[in-house]
Structures are given as C-alpha cells and as structure tokens.
Structure 1
Amino acid sequence: MIKNLAIILVVFLCAKSTYSELYTALAELEELLHTEHALITVIKNYITAQEQNMLLLKRYVEAYTDQYKKASDDAQAYVENPINAYLLVKRLTTDWEVVQNLINKNIGEELITDFYEHTTDLKFPSYEDLNGAAVALTRLQDTYQLDTSSLANGEINGVKYATELTAADCFELGRQSYNNADHYHTYLWMMEADERLKREVNQTVERSEILEYLAFSTFMLGHVGLALTLTNKILELVPTHERALRNKVYYEDEITKTNSPQSTGENESILIIQNNTEGSLPYEALCRGEIRPSDAILAQLKCRYTDNGNPFLKIAPFKVEEAYLDPQILIFHDVMADHEIATIKELARPRFQRASVLNFFTGAMEIVQYRISKSAWLKEIEHKHIADVVQRVEDMTRLSMETAEELQVVNYGIGGHYEPHFDFAVAGDANAFKSLGAGNRIATLLFYMSDVAQGGATVFPYLDVALWPKKGAAAFWYNLHSSGEGDKRTRHAACPVLAGSKWSTLPNGLIHSCINVITIIFFLVSNKWMHEDGQQFRRPCDLERPPPEFTA
C-alpha cells in the first residue's frame, strides 16, 4: 500500500513539475490547493477501494472457512456430494482467481510469487476441471430429471445435501454450458442465476451479464421473440451496451423476416423447458428407478445359499440373490470384507488414470466422453487381499482365473457414468483382446466397494433390470451364450452417482464361453473380466445357435 501511495505522489509531483518558482506568486500557490484537494480525493478513493477489497476478502475467507469446517467433519462424504464437489472446484478456480487479484492489489506480486514458491505440493484444479464439474452436474440434472431450483438449493430428490448456490455459482454453471454450446442448460442456469440475484443483498454478479448469455442462448434455441425481450432488458440496464444494440437490430430483422410476433417472455420460457425435457434416454428411466421387470418375472426370482460344489464352502456358503433368470444375473452378498476394500483402495489410489475403452476395430485403448471415471489395475501378487479376492471370484463363478484380466478398480467422479455398452467384443472385431490371446470375455463379475446414497445403479435396458450398489456385494453374469456368441441382452450401463462415491471392482468376471477366456472388470468399484480360454470343462460349449434376440 505504501508503495502504491508513493507512486500516486510521484505522479502528482511530476504533473506539477512544469511550474517554476511557485513560491513567488501567491496566485500560483493557491493553485496547489486544488492539487492537494485532488490528491486527497485520490488517496480517499484508494483507501475506499482497499477497504472494499478487504471486505470482499473477508467474505471469501469466511466462505472458505465455513465450507472447510463442514468438510472437516467427514471429508469423504463432503466431496462425494456432486454439488459440494462442483463448488470446491469452483472455489479453487474462478473464485481463487478473484481472491488472487484482490491480494495482488493489497500486497503486490511479491507475496503471490512467494506463495507459489512455497506451495509446490498443493494441487489446483484447472479450468478443464471446472468445465468437467459443471458438465457433470448438468448430466445428473438430465439423468435424474432434477429441478434446477432445488439443485441450486443444495437439494437432491428432496434431501438437503449441500450449501445453496449463489447467483454467481449458477451463472458460472450457465457460462460453462455456453462454452460447450449447450444452450438449453445455459438457459436453465442463467434463469436461476437471475432469480437468485433478485434476492441477494450483496449481489454476486452483474444482471446485464446474465441477460446477455440468456438472450443469446434463447435465440439459439429458436425463440427470437424472447431473445429480443431479454436484449431490451439489457439495454434498460446499460443503454450503451454494444453487443445488445447490434443484437437488437438483428433480432428485429429476424422477427420481420419470419413474421413472428414479439414474445412477452413468460409463455415462451415455459415452452423452452417443455421442448427440451423430452430427450431422456431409455436407460435413464432405469437409473431413476421408474422401470422394473414385470411381476411375473419377479415372482420367479429366489434367494439361496450355495457352496457351488466346493467342499470348503460347506461351512460358509455364499448368499446368492437372483436378479434375473434368462440371462442369469446373480448378486453375491457379503463377498468382500472391509479390510480387503481398504487395501484395494489404498493400492489403487496412486495409480488412477482416466479410464479408457477398447476400440474393437483398432485394438487400441481410447478415452471417450461416454465413460467418465478413473481406473487402476491390480495384480494378485501385489497383496494377499487381492489374491484372496481373485480366488473368491473363482469360487463364486467356478471359472478359471488363469486367463482372466487383472483386477480393475474404478472410481467414478462427479457425474461419472458409462453409457450402455457390451463387455464382449461383437462379431467382426478381429482386434478385440488380440493382445491377451485368450478369446472373448465370457463373463463379468463386479464388486461394489461402497454404499451409494442415491443413484449409481448398474442397469440392463433390454431386461428392465437395475442393480443398486451395496458395499461388499458382487454382481455376476455371462456375456456370451454357451455357443460362444455374444448375448446382446447383457448390454448395460453405469448410472451416474447422485450422492456418494461409487467404487467398484471387477475380478475375473467376464468369462468367455467356448473359447474359455475370463475377462475381469471392476465396475464403479472393482471389476474382474474372465475370458473363454480355459473354461472348456467349466462351462461346456453348446453347438446350437441361440434364438434371435433384438437389434442393438
């Protein structure tokens, strides 16, 4: 601050340095009183600005402290909430940028430089992370048909999970959607930002900025009249707004060309929402729990104890629940202990990388937007607990683990999901699993390593089946018919987690029919895929082709 005041004084002294011998004329000395008055005004303005900066900094530190205290009670539960996760990323990106600018104004670049020199071990999210968190929230919003206002209130399906969003928080969600050319969600979140701004005592964003995004996105959604109405509101606030002036002329021309009436806004706003809520994907209804198998199918399902013909399991048989009969989908309960889960998480965490999928045409692994998660692979030799888990997979499935893939551990982040897919390679994919040399994935076993408060189901759209995560349980199904052909009815998806963090493991779970290869997939927690090779005597081949199923 002293440095800045010195600069101000130098500027004013230099400005008057052209006068010579001011002391010789009282009239000229009197002029210095005007200079002094201007200097006093500048200094007062500077102090006022600094005080305003300090007030803003106090608000930010209070907000940071409040959220940190809430997170300290249960850090995992805090970050598992998607709204909290989004706000945490936002606080460390856009909010931190504002704070950094305020600090620069107060203590200069030296302090910021010193800060970074001593904080090399800290992680800061990137703007890509911010965009990803925003996209994840909108994905959850669509998948579970969440009301925008309730979500902004920190509520998910009527349960209060997180802090309310400010107008600026909603604005940032809308802005990120706009950057992704997602004008529908831009519209929703800018509308919410505008409503919240009206109730804020200390307004967190300029209304003209909200209206500018809102108007253009409304236009891109095909509602020119409403776009013009919103643009006129911008000009009421900022009559000289250059873009609004240009857009006003353009919108008026468009209305004239199409002979469409200018909208008042209210009815057309409702129409925008109605027209854009009809695109829900079929599998998302399963994610929401709106669909289930018929009562006739459910009546045939049973729960039982089984030892799978293993004498060792006579004393402690598996608890098995039938989720579907044809194709058979089983849920094994209490088959992974807490200490095993802890070991797997500990080993997997430092190795997590963005999950990729196999391109069956090229044989290469690729990162895709329809699978959002991070994964790691663990070997049996790394720890006794992993070896025990893999042996348990063999006991449960009666399939050989010799050709199974390593245990894959998967952690889905904010809005993490995996859209409908097959675990097996479809006909014609010559390069699929070529490097393994063990045939196709015959079966999948998926361990759930945590409970999930809301969402996170594994769904089978063709069967209308949804499997809900339960810590320590495992789901098992064959991906191939006994003839070796892929069973397209096993097409499945991983629904995004609404509240809670979904961990899963797939141990030697995808077992590959006649070719007897075991593929192991860790689904949302940990997976084991099993391949066909080695299974010839464990699951004998059936030479008859299966009946036609459906066109996937």
Structure 2
Amino acid sequence: MGPTAEELPLRKIVLSSYAIAAIFIAASWSSYSYGISFSPWQAVLGSLRTPAFVCEPHQYTTEIVSIDPLLIYINNFVSASEAELLIAEGEPNLETSEVYRNGVKQPATSRTSRSGALPPSSAIVQCILSRSSAFMGTLLDLDGDFGTPQIVRYEKGEKFDTHHDWYDTPQRMKDGTSRWFNRVASFFVYLDGEGVQGGETWFPFIEARDGDGKWIRGEDGEGGGTKFVPRRGNALFWVNLHGNGTGDQRVVHAGLPLAEGRKTAMNIWPRKFYRRERGWWNF
C-alpha cells in the first residue's frame, strides 16, 4: 500500500533534510586534502563513516626538568585519539632507520628501529606542528619552519645509541634558496607505550630528581643522567643549540633497548636559519 496524501509532505521534508546533511558533510570533507579521489556519492558515504579531522583547542601541562640546558616534560601534549591518527598516518612509511655519516644517510647497528616521514600536508600533522609552534614562541623563526616530522617505532630489543639531533654543520635548504639551517630544538612525542618495559629515553648529562615515575635518575636508576619512561601522549622538548648556533653536547641522548612491548613516537625538529659571514655561521 502506498503512502497517504498526508504522509507525502512529511517524507519530502525528511528526505530533503538527509540531502542537505549529505551535501554539508561532503563539503566539510572536501576542505581537507588527503590525496584520494572519490565519486560524489563515495565522498558522502565515506564522510558518514569517518568524520573529517578538526584541530580542536587542546590543553597540556609542563614540568621543567632542566633549566640549562633547557629540557621540559609535557603532559598530554597529544590526546589518545590524536596519537592513533598520527600512527595511522605514519605506519605505511616505516622503513629501517638510518643515520647520517659524512653527510650520507645509511643503516647502522647503533640504530635498529624503523622510521618514516609523517606527511606535513595531513590535517592531524599540521595540527600538532601548529601546537609545537605556539609552544616555542620566539624561539622559532618568524616563518615557523619545521623539518619533515618523523614517526619512529621500536620493537623488542631495538635501540638508538647515544646521539644528538643537530647537524654537525648547517644544512642548505633544498628549495632553491641560499638559506642554511640547523635543528634548534626537538620534540619527542610518545604515541604509544602501554605495557612497555625498557625503551626509556636517556640523557646521560642531565641530572634531575625523580619525576613521579615519569623519569628516574640514571640509566640504571641510581646515577648517571636521567631516563624518561614512555607514556602515551606525553612529550619531551629540549633545545639543541647554544646561543652562538653550535650544538649543545649536554643534550645527547639515547633510546635504550626495549625489553617488552612496542614504542612508537613522533620526532619534530624546528629549524633555525643561519647567515654565513667570513667563514663563520651566525643566527
């Protein structure tokens, strides 16, 4: 039996509401670029299943571990849902990690993890980079430039021996300009780590009191620097360079071997630009 005359207007209103909602959702989806092509109806259905990411205001707290050199512990720098999105973005790009030797990237027994680029054009990556920029304030150059962020993963037994994040000599931009840069600071953001044993981030030259289970003294818990326990969503921030642009050896660090579980993290490297004068590098 077909609809009555009284039911027809109501059904038209309901159907029109669904159509308007579908158009609105499709328009919202199109404001983000994911490099994927859909037909109009696929876009609508995909949006109904997976809402577009929105970078919401986010609150975190900080604890100063060291003033000189500056090392700050950030609680809840990313939310659990943000961490999951970052992992999903980066996992397809994971490959054997490499190190720089004489300006050339190559595998090394000192670094046995996997790592890969996080796409800077991704909405979630842009959100975290914007948060990082706001955190740094005037320490970041006015153009707010970051290197390509990186996802890194450690499985059982994997490690990264003591190293530093800055380059031994400034690097030239590959954008056709004559600008040179170095990594002025680092963020290391823990994206998972539940049930992990070992795998701490160890700073051998930074001495700090125990931090409520989030960090403890020494590689062995008794002395010789400070090691940080992987906790999802939390992050470390430190400054890599002295005021004259040279690397600060006091912030060398290591990823200690993972005894159990899996550790995934995000590296963020803000850039500082140099000018070259009479053979000297200056900010």
Q: Which category describes the TM-score, using the shorter chain as reference length?
A: 0.5 to 0.7
Name the SS of the counterpart of 2:86 in structure 1: helix
Alignment partner for residue 205 of structure 2, among 462, 472, 478? 462
1:387 and 2:126 matched: yes
Deviations 1:439-483 (A, max 9, x none): 111100110011253111111112211111111011000000112
CA-CA distance at 1:374 after TM superposition: 0.9
1:259-299 deviations in Å (ceiling 9; x for gaps): xxxxxxxxxxxxxxxxxxxxxxxxxxxxxxxxxxxxxxxxx
Pick from 446, 470, 493: which aligns with 2:188?
446
Contact 2:155-2:261 within 8 A present in 1 as well: no
Q: Distance in 1 between matches of 2:113 and 2:58?
A: 35
- Cα contact 2:156–2:261 (8 A) shared by 1: no
Q: Deviations along 1:161-184, whole A, 9 cap, x unmatched?
A: xxxxxxxxxxxxxxxxxxxxxxxx
Report if the CA contact (8 A) 1:403-1:438 is conserved. no
Whether the 8 Å contact between 2:202 and 2:226 is mirrored in structure 1 is yes
Is 1:343 matched with 2:59? no
**What stretches of structure 1 move > 3 A for 4+ residues in a row?**
315-318, 434-438
* Aligned twin of 1:318: 60
Unaligned runs of 5+ in 2: 1-56, 207-224, 275-281
1:446 counterpart letter in structure 2: F
Cα 1:318/1:342, change in 2 over 3 Å: closer
Partner of 2:171: 433
Q: State how far apart, in whole Å, the 1-side matches of 2:227 and 2:180 are.
A: 30
Partner residue in 1 for 2:146: 404
* Structure 1 Cα separation of the partners of residues 59 and 79 of structure 2: 15
Which whole-Å CA distance do the structure 2 matches of 1:435 and 1:413 have between them? 33
Paired residue type of 1:366? Q
Cross-structure match for 1:354:
96
* Equivalent residue pairs, number: 196
SS in 2 for 1:339: helix
SS in 2 for 1:533: strand
SS class of match (2:273): coil
CA pair 485-316 structure 1, distance change in 2 beyond 3 A: same
* SS of residue paired to 2:151: strand
Once the two structures are superposed, the pairs formed by residues 513-524 of structure 1 within 5 Å of their partners are none
Please say if residues 173 and 181 of structure 2, whose CA atoms lie closer than 8 Å, have aligned partners that are also in contact: no
Change (3 A) 1:338 1:358: same
Q: Residues 385 and 446 of structure 1: is their aligned pair in 2 closer, same or farther, counting only changes over 3 Å?
A: same
The one-letter code of the counterpart of 2:128 is V
- In structure 1, what is the equivalent of residue 105 of structure 2? 365
Match of 1:475 in 2: 236
- Structure 1 residues without counterparts, runs of 5 or longer: 1-314, 506-526, 535-541, 544-552
List aligned pairs for 1:52-63, cutoff 5 A: none
3-state SS of the aligned residue for 2:171? coil
Distance 1:340 1:413 in 2: 21
Q: Which residue of 2 aligns with 1:374?
A: 114
CA distance in structure 1 between the aligned counterparts of 2:226 and 2:180, rounded to whole angstroms: 30
Q: CA deviation at 1:324?
A: 1.8
* TM superposition score normalised by structure 2: 0.64
Q: Distance in 1 between matches of 2:58 and 2:89?
A: 28
- Contact preservation (8 Å) 2:133, 2:144: no
| Residue among 74, 77, 82 paired with 1:332 | 74
Q: TM-score, normalising length from structure 1?
A: 0.34
CA contact (8 A) 1:419 1:494 kept: yes
Question: Which residue of structure 2 lines up, in the alignment, with residue 420 of structure 1?
Answer: 162
8 Å contact from structure 1 (residues 438, 531) kept in 2:
no
Secondary structure of 2:245's partner? coil
**Which structure's residues are more often strand, by fraction?**
2
* Aligned partner (choices 232, 235, 252) of residue 491 of structure 1: 252
Once the two structures are superposed, residues 121-178 of structure 1 have per-residue CA deviations (whole angstroms, 9 ceiling, x without a partner) of xxxxxxxxxxxxxxxxxxxxxxxxxxxxxxxxxxxxxxxxxxxxxxxxxxxxxxxxxx
Structure 2 residue aligned with 1:248: none
Supply the distance in 2 between the matched residues of 1:356 and 1:334 (Cα, whole angstroms): 29
- Give the distance between the partners of 1:433 and 1:348, measured in 2 at CA: 25
Deviation at 1:531, TM superposition (A): 1.5
Q: Distance in 2 between matches of 1:415 and 1:337?
A: 27
CA deviation vs aligned residue, 1:297-317 (integer Å, no higher than 9, x gap): xxxxxxxxxxxxxxxxxx965
Matches within 5 A, 1:281-320: 318-320=60-62
